[in-house]
A = this chain, B = another copy of it.
Amino acid sequence: MPPQSRSALPEPQSFDRVLSSMCTAPHPVARAAAERYLGTNPGDPESYAGVADLEARTVDLLGTVVGLEDPHGYVPAGGTEANIQAVRAARNLGSSSSPNVVAPESAHFSFHKAAEILEVELRTTPVDDDFRADPDAMAAAADEDTVLLVGVAGSTEYGRVDPIPDLAAVAQSVGARVHVDAAFGGFLLPFTGHQWHFDHAAIDTMTIDPHKAGQSAIPAGGFIARDHETLDALAVETPYLESESQVTLGGTRSGAGVASAFAAISELWPDGYEAEFERTMGLADWLAGALESRGEDPIEPSLPLVTSEMDAEVFEALRSAGWRVARTGDGALRIVLMPHVTKEMLQAFLKDLDRIRG
């Protein structure tokens, strides 16, 4: 029986109509680990040594996923923090007094947030016909003040994977660092033929989110760097903590997130993730086919994410029917096939779509 409380908390939403989120119901082992570690703070490793050790082990596991033998990094609150940190490290390590970052227009809005916060210029470049970064456009936008090129490995809107090795070559030619945002793609791409990680190209930093396809509880991001120099560029001195410096954006941090990520990756890497990728990728292809058969023109999915043009009126009616669906900046319906999404959910969704369109 839950403890008595003066506050009647409503039931949290169920996932049975959530098609818009890149988060999902935590895996049972991830949930159990989060519950056990709710009272721990890896931000204070001298008070909470156990969870700080778990964080180091989680970074090692993430290194395995992203093709890096000796990874440096930590478990940030999420992808936004990791992306901010990548820009911050590049700014701090660069020598420009008016630094800029070049990113495809498909990059997550957290790069706009990072640019505003860190006072760097963000130069966004057009994507190609398949919504992927265009290395030539990025090369043209870069100059001697460019400290970082951003590539996306699993874009938020279309699930596209940028040509990372080509972007790395551009970065090398202008002396900039390379960051890959694999927040969404990190636990999916290992089971594809894409070239996206540290072993495929001269990447400096990467974002990979255990609390997305990694099936961890929130908050559990991943900020992974090739060199320790990157972390040094983020270090701030910490008096009255027995540790000497802190590289994270946050201070007190969630041990629940760290333990949850550790448990999920230990449990699911690689077979569990592979099975889930196959299942959700299959669902994406099936959904795209089902939309096509209804006269829609969905974009061919490259990861478990389906987009398709949709009248605003139909979209609103779907939301009114309780479906948590989202739109791309261009107004296309966007459905993310996360672990909680089943074929039955999609069938119910299509039934409502058919009803709405009459």
Contact = CB atoms under 8 A, between A and B. Distances in A.
Interface of A: 2-7, 9-13, 15, 18, 20-26, 28-29, 31-41, 43-44, 46-51, 54, 77-81, 84, 88, 108-110, 112-113, 116-119, 156-157, 209, 211, 217-219, 221, 236-242, 246, 249-257, 259, 262-263, 266-267, 319, 324, 326-329, 334
A47 B18 contact: yes
- How many of these chains are in the complex? 2
Given A34-B38, A50-B12, A252-B219, A267 B7 contact: yes
Given A10-B50, A40-B218, 11 more contacts: A2-B29, A2-B32, A7-B266, A9-B263, A23-B39, A39-B217, A80-B251, A113-B236, A157-B240, A239-B329, A242-B326
A94 to B, nearest CB: 13
Given A7-B263, A12-B36, A246 B326 contact: no
Contacts of A81: 249-250
Q: Which of A3, A110, A118, A255 has the most CB of B within 10 A?
A: A3
Contacts of A77: 77, 219, 250, 252-254
A321 B78 CA distance: 36
Given A18-B47, A239-B109, A7 B37 contact: no
A105 to B, nearest CB: 10
Contact of A5 (B13, B35, B266): B266
Nearest to A315: B242
Q: Which of A217, A218, A262 has the most CB of B within 10 A?
A: A218
A13 B50 contact: yes
A219 B251 contact: no
Contacts of A12: 36-37, 39-40, 48, 50-51, 255, 259
A113 to B, nearest CB: 4
A217 B112 contact: no
Nearest to A19: B47
A255 B237 CA distance: 30
A196 B119 CA distance: 32
A346 B218 CA distance: 35
A237 to B, nearest CB: 7
Contacts of A28: 3
B262 A9 contact: yes
Contact of A39 (B20, B25, B329): B25
A109 B36 CA distance: 29
A256 B12 CA distance: 10
Q: Which of A110, A249, A257 has the most CB of B within 10 A?
A: A249
A113 B4 CA distance: 40
A9 B240 contact: no
A246 B324 CA distance: 19
Contacts of A237: 109, 112
Nearest to A57: B7
B116 A119 contact: no
A185 to B, nearest CB: 15
Contact of A38 (B13, B218, B241): B218
Contacts of A40: 12-13, 218
Q: Which of A5, A250, A262 has the most CB of B within 10 A?
A: A250
A251 B7 contact: no
A46 B326 contact: yes
B50 A116 contact: no
A3 B29 contact: yes
